[in-house]
Structure 1
Amino acid sequence: MPKLTIDGREIEVEAGATIIQAADLLGIEIPRFCYHERLAIAGNCRMCLVEVEKMPKPVASCAMPVGEGMVVKTNTPVVRKARQGVMEFLLLNHPLDCPICDQGGECDLQDQAMAYGSDKNRCQEGKRAVPDKDYGPLVQTMMTRCIQCTRCVRFISEIAGTPVLGGLGRGEHLEITRYVGAAVSSELSGNLIDLCPVGALTNKPASYTYRSWELKKTESIDVMDALGASIRVDTRGNEVIRVLPRVNEDVNEEWLSDRSRFAVDGLKRQRLDRPYVRKDGKLVAVTWPEALAAVAAKLKGLNGSQIAAIAGDQADAESLLATKDLLAALGSANLDCRSDGAKLDASVRASYLFNSTAAGIEQADALLIIGSNPRKENPVLNSRIRKRWQKGGFKIARIGHKGDLTYQYEHLGDQASILKDIAEGKHPFFEVLKSAAKPALIIGQGALTRADGAVILGLARKLADAAGLVKDGWNGFNVLHTAAARVGGLDLGFVPGAGGKDTAAIVDGAAKGEVKALVLLGADDIDMKGLGDAFVVYVGTHGDAGAHRADVILPAAAYTEKSATYVNLEGRAQQTRLAVFPPGEAKEDWRIVKALAEALGKSLPYDSLKAIRQRLAQAAPAFAAIGEVTPAAWGAAFGAEGALGDGALVSNIDNFYMTDPISRASKTMAECTAAFGGGCNHKHKKTGTHG
């Protein structure tokens, strides 16, 4: 490991590291525009020039590897003059529109111009202008501001895996543009905005609506998919303006999917802001006491077997626990958090976790994907798989629909019988997994929601044992969830008790009149038309399918409007924080359930957020370790034996941009659906390119 000296301070770094990386380790700031630690080195902005002893002129520190005994100076008169010259060139053609630029206040170019800019301009020629490009409904372009750092080009090619951007022209005429006929339809395209060091790429849905210094910033987590990415919610007044990713190396690095970032306008559309009761076939606004009394009047005459509850994809752990406790008090075992009918086994924790963890998937050297499309189901996690694939020595195979996942894989077919052949050692890919040091599989909800889902789960378990997917320090058995609430619900045992009904049986029982009252905890994806004459209580945020069917609506808070706990697909408990208050008379979900219990004459043993979280920690170990992965022991059997169905394995997500009440209420997501056709593997109607 070479040693070098930077500004009189000695440091030892790994061989191959660059000067700018060594300086960052020391906390010495070197300005940069093109360099980014997660992207390939370009070395084209020259802002990071430094002096190195025995070298005749300043060198670009981002592209210069360190050497033994190297002496570097980052703040000499020569360096400052060089950086001032670079800044003068960068500002030659930059428009003077900082006062109206959305990047104002957060602009790297502004910051460096303050430090290295001049008060004079020696260039007398007119500034050039560059036509704006159409990057779709999410990214606003103002290409005259572009300084050709190529961060966007490198991100879309390297990280996102959809190489549709490039440079056109040379010298002063260089422009960053789309390839002919290509649409910027990556599910990660919003990260281009964060990467752009100037105002060339900005947030299109929120353009000209805010100034960065007006916004209140709240650290939270995302619940639009099961990864639980770390986010920052920026608000003004009681309105969410934007959502940005936070750096979390273990979960999402610093990336965020487009749905998580841009669906925020759905938080203020079609909201439920007051209780409603259906009278004479129409929903009528009422007070909270009237709504709770209406529910109590219907439920008090029923026995436990006639009452049921189904939890939706964004239900928080506190409300799941309160609802489970309420149903237990009412004598009902009819409850389920698997609203899509997934055949997951809540009794064996390792059977429903992404056991290798999001960061751990980068250690795998062979991967089998079963009935899943990671690119649509979890784009940020998919970028991790691509990152590992780019390093080489990573064989990937897929059973399911054939489509572009942004990395090369062997398509084995789409029938579940192929998995059986692999599990029994009859398929060549079995040897690939068995010979790998850290083999892994990912089984998606598309496989588990089938009628034979339990059999497929059992075959995946059989394969894991036969091919050695679980060994000392490694568990390669992974379930890819699409619902933020699912793992928390399974951890809490929000599944049918002894003699209880699951989602399918509850719906069937409602149709037959056996289930007379049903509580929907934000569940909108079940068959509402099949509920017969059942009395439906909907606790939710939006006027979605559940609200249309409900007899009583109790308005709840969205994830930005409450402090709530979720468990991500790895088994990592995380908490959201209240950024804005719920609209109108809406309340936190668990408080609604507690109020409902009191109206029914039942008492729940907690009356504060602290108390219910203590109860959570007692109910499941994961809730006692916030922010940490609670691993699951491997050993207990799960899955089932039986015959496999004939249908093809497909992903359970058709439209990436609309998967939940928030995104379905979003105008921006509707525009994305119209432009890109629902995500990858759909052809763009105008250009014919794959989105």
Structure 2
Amino acid sequence: MIKVTIDHQQHVFPKAISIIEACQQVGIQIPHFCYHPKLDIAGNCRMCLVDVEGSRKPIPSCANTIQDGMVIHTTTDHVKKDREGVMEFLLINHPLDCPVCDQAGECDLQDQTLHYGRDRSRYMEEKRIVPSKHMGPLISTTMTRCIHCTRCVRFAEDIAGVTDIGAVGRGEHMEITTLEQAVKSEISGNVIDLCPVGALNSKPYQFQGRPWELTHTDTIDVMDALGSHIRVDSRGGQVFRIKPREMEDINEIWLSDKSRFAYDGLLSQRLDKPYVRDNKGTLQPASWDDALANVVQQLTTTPSHKVAALAGDLVDCESMLLMKRLMQHIGSQHLDCRVVGAYADAENPASFVFNTSLNDIDTADVCVLIGTNPRWEAPVLNIRLRRGVVNNGMQMFRIGFEHDLTYPVVDLGNDVVVLTDLLAGKGKAAKALKMAKRPAIIIGQSALQSSQGSVILNTCAKIAEKYNLVRDDGWNGFNVLHTAANRVGGLDLGFVPGENGLSATDMIPATHDGRISLMFLLGVDDVAHKISKNTFVVYIGHHGDKGASRADVVLPGCAYTEKSAIYVNTEGRSQYAHKAVNPPGDARTDWQIFAELLNRMGHQKQYASIQDVRKDLQKENNEFSENRSFSKRHWDSNMGVKGTLVSEELQPAIANFYMTNVISKYSKIMAQCTKEIFQGDKK
């Protein structure tokens, strides 16, 4: 234990930490600009100077660790004068443009000038002018405001693993620059949050509003399967920006660019009223009563074994539950939440979740990626993997397609038969797994979507058993990484084919041979155009995309920012999202649509509120209880289908990071990123 005296009070700390961290732990705030708990120490700004007895001069509290018996003073006249001097130097060249700066109201420089700055300026010379830099379609720059804290540079190099942001020149002539090119990182927007002044701001949000004008709603992101915690800022029923919330166990303080900037897609091509296709084949606006009556008529006249239902990637648990109840009521077994056809063993929960937990994966010493590109499929998870490789010495191996992951990785080849060699103990990866104390594998959707997905899962389970990936000390290194926000929720609900039921890949051909004559598409667009024209299609969703174009009845639903709902992330954690804005026009929450259909079909149970639905959810599976912490699933190696793998190359599950769902598809911001960053990289 380390005993330290801070401002005449003695405190005890279990280990050596920096002085600034020690002060924060006991409730003493030390002003700072360059220091950030998630970044390496730079010691640039000198704002965090403190007096330490025995030292001849003030020392930076961020760059010095506490020592037993140390006596620290943070409020002496000397310290106050030091801080005023630092603030005076920082403000020498800073422009007086707070009224037009997007950072105003959330600016560290403003706040600290108020508390630690002088009440007048002695500087009479001309201020320095620095040209703004081009950082791509997401980040606006006003580099005259830059105070050279280098947070953005350290983030790019240490966290993002790219070298697109750097510094040129020295002293007063130093400039932060990207050499006039876009920052090619899927997490570049985090530099906006890191910048303590108004030098780096959100380009889409520029001049759109002030923080005190916006309503802040805490909710959950659905752009990938991590379930990152976010804050939606809205005004007048419109989302103006999305920022990350701190959640150390999931996204820490980071957020991917798609999650942060795709919100403008919520305004385009929205469904705001029901539609019914007339005798001429044209979709016509209809009342809710007429549209629902049309659906009920089709359900009552169609044999139950000819009715099927698909749930898309952005669908919440409440909606899937009531859709399942509707299918159970009519007696159909044809339902599935795996639209892309990825194999999953719904009877074995440990076979389809991220068992290690997101918070522990960087503690593995060996990790094998199997058919996954975490940089695109889960950018924030890729931050943890990079930290494990760079800081903790994790050995990383890959089976599948090549892609720059921002850290060293040993390629074992893009052929699923490599798994057979790994199981047989051949190769470098086998040797590393055998010697590892905390081994892990991450199975991606590319592997499970292949024609041998079930055999691949079974083989991976055997690998887990052979190399002791699941241990008595609580370590479980068997992980499945999903790309859909609530795929695990659907599997926990059992939203999969029942006995003799058709899977997602079988339903489409079944519409052409007459086995399926009515299909529900709940937020499903990508496969809608493949459905036979003779099949009656009911589409429930929030965007007028392929699903709505193909439908005979369109029922407008709500996007993720417009409803309170439960989503289960890739590690099996049940999380509650909250409504931020109202849906457009006459759109209704999806669960309410199915509750009304159930009522009209004579279902005994009534769902009058979302609480009624959630009670039924908890009866269906106790994973949906209000305990939102990570819970380990019971390990059972009996998963998948036994078989012999044959040579097959894996294909990427995501073709373009910036456009993976119907919201990002209609985002103009994501379209700009696709043009400047994604397509620019391919040239």
Verify same fold: TM over 0.5.
yes
1:202-601 alignment to 2 at 5 Å? 202-279=201-278, 280-472=280-472, 473-526=474-527, 528-601=529-602
1:559-588 C-alpha deviation (Å, 9 max, x unpaired): 111110011011100011011111111111
Between stretches 326-335 and 382-391, larger displacement belongs to: 382-391
1:436 Cα deviation after fit: 0.5
C-alpha separation in 2, matches of 1:589 and 1:84: 57
Q: Which amino acid aligns with 1:195?
A: L
State yes or no: 1:49 paired with 2:43.
no
C-alpha separation in 2, matches of 1:163 and 1:292: 55
C-alpha separation in 2, matches of 1:515 and 1:193: 50
Secondary structure, counterpart of 1:413 in structure 2: coil
8 Å Cα contact 2:136/2:181 also seen in 1: no
Q: Which amino acid aligns with 2:580?
A: A
Residue equivalent to 2:84: 84
C-alpha separation in 1, matches of 2:144 and 2:449: 50
1:535 Cα deviation after fit: 0.6
Q: Which amino acid aligns with 1:193?
A: I
1:65 Cα deviation after fit: 1.5
C-alpha separation in 2, matches of 1:373 and 1:569: 15
Q: Please provide the CA RMSD for this pair.
A: 1.3
C-alpha separation in 1, matches of 2:159 and 2:80: 34
Secondary structure, counterpart of 2:155 in structure 1: helix
C-alpha separation in 2, matches of 1:391 and 1:502: 43
C-alpha separation in 1, matches of 2:113 and 2:220: 34
8 Å Cα contact 1:131/1:143 also seen in 2: yes
Q: Which amino acid aligns with 1:630?
A: S
C-alpha separation in 2, matches of 1:684 and 1:341: 28
8 Å Cα contact 1:566/1:573 also seen in 2: yes
Residue equivalent to 1:94: 94
Secondary structure, counterpart of 2:260 in structure 1: helix
Identity among equivalent pairs (%) = 51
Q: Which amino acid aligns with 1:250?
A: D
Secondary structure, counterpart of 2:463 in structure 1: helix
8 Å Cα contact 2:226/2:485 also seen in 1: yes
Q: Which amino acid aligns with 1:580?
A: V
1:118 Cα deviation after fit: 2.2
Secondary structure, counterpart of 1:475 in structure 2: coil
1:119 Cα deviation after fit: 3.0
Q: Which amino acid aligns with 1:79?
A: V
1:493-548 C-alpha deviation (Å, 9 max, x unpaired): 00000111100111111121211100011011225224341111010010111111
Q: Which amino acid aligns with 1:683?
A: D
8 Å Cα contact 2:595/2:606 also seen in 1: no
C-alpha separation in 1, matches of 2:600 and 2:100: 54
Residue equivalent to 2:681: 683
1:597-616 alignment to 2 at 5 Å? 597-616=598-617
How many residues are matched? 681
8 Å Cα contact 1:513/1:532 also seen in 2: no
Residue equivalent to 1:688: none
C-alpha separation in 1, matches of 2:43 and 2:130: 23
**Please, what TM-score do these two structures have when normalized by structure 1?**
0.97
C-alpha separation in 2, matches of 1:24 and 1:10: 14
C-alpha separation in 1, matches of 2:516 and 2:644: 31
C-alpha separation in 2, matches of 1:135 and 1:604: 55
1:54 Cα deviation after fit: 1.8
Q: Which amino acid aligns with 1:642?
A: G
Secondary structure, counterpart of 1:575 in structure 2: strand
| Structure 1 runs not aligned, ≥5 long | 686-691
| Structure 2 runs not aligned, ≥5 long | none
Residue equivalent to 1:18: 18
Q: Which amino acid aligns with 1:342?
A: A
C-alpha separation in 1, matches of 2:68 and 2:49: 20
1:603 Cα deviation after fit: 4.0
8 Å Cα contact 1:7/1:72 also seen in 2: yes
Residue equivalent to 1:672: 673
C-alpha separation in 2, matches of 1:499 and 1:65: 65
C-alpha separation in 2, matches of 1:319 and 1:571: 18
Q: Which amino acid aligns with 1:290?
A: D
1:602 Cα deviation after fit: 3.1
1:183 Cα deviation after fit: 3.1
Residue equivalent to 1:201: 200
Q: Which amino acid aligns with 1:24?
A: Q
Secondary structure, counterpart of 2:258 in structure 1: helix
Residue equivalent to 1:169: 169
Secondary structure, counterpart of 2:425 in structure 1: coil
1:285-334 C-alpha deviation (Å, 9 max, x unpaired): 11100111111222211111110000000110000000001000001000
Q: Which amino acid aligns with 1:374?
A: P
C-alpha separation in 2, matches of 1:355 and 1:674: 37
Q: Which amino acid aligns with 1:662?
A: I
Q: Which amino acid aligns with 1:59?
A: I
1:646 Cα deviation after fit: 3.2
**Please, what TM-score do these two structures have when normalized by structure 2?**
0.98
1:655 Cα deviation after fit: 0.5
Q: Which amino acid aligns with 2:356?
A: S
8 Å Cα contact 1:32/1:48 also seen in 2: yes
1:225-273 C-alpha deviation (Å, 9 max, x unpaired): 1000111111112111111111111111000000000001111111111
Secondary structure, counterpart of 1:382 in structure 2: helix
